[in-house]
Amino acid sequence: HGVWPDNKSVVLNNCKNEVLKTSLKDPIKKTELDKRWPQLRYEKIDGIEKQDLWEKEFLKHGSCSINRYKQEAYFDLAMKIKDRFDLLGTLRNQGIIPGSTYELDDIERAIKTVSIEVPSLKCIQKPLGNVELTEIGI
């Protein structure tokens, strides 16, 4: 969910102490961002106007790259990367469909068709011993 800057050894978080309020104004840009990074806590229109998720992620991660990517450029980069990798489409093209069970090696192999690096897969333990993939990092 977004772009996480790093310094080649660790992901950077919470780099700026001052409040950097998210204030995207362009309605087209907000709609495009919502297509790729929806704010699921609210109805679509409210999410686009409140921008809570985008603000949280920008404060946590975007603030670490503020010298290189101002707010709008940070979100443009996030959308460009999401479009480039299209992980859900990649998984579907490799026969991996959400809601079914797969080996982690199969998921990694599928993602490596669009990424050189082995992806970082984050899973959570569900009831009855099931494991659910919740995040893919490239």
Give me the active site residues, please: 1, 57, 61
The burial of 20, by beta-carbon neighbours within 10 Å (0-12 exposed, 13-18 middle, 19 or more buried), is given as middle
- 55: amino acid identity, one letter: E
Whose structure tokens read 């659910």? 132
Helical (H) or strand (E) element with 50: helix 44-50
- Token duo for residue 130: 């099931």
Residues 28 and 25: their CA atoms lie apart, in Å, by 9
Contact assessment for residue 102 and residue 91, using Cβ atoms and an 8 Å cutoff: no
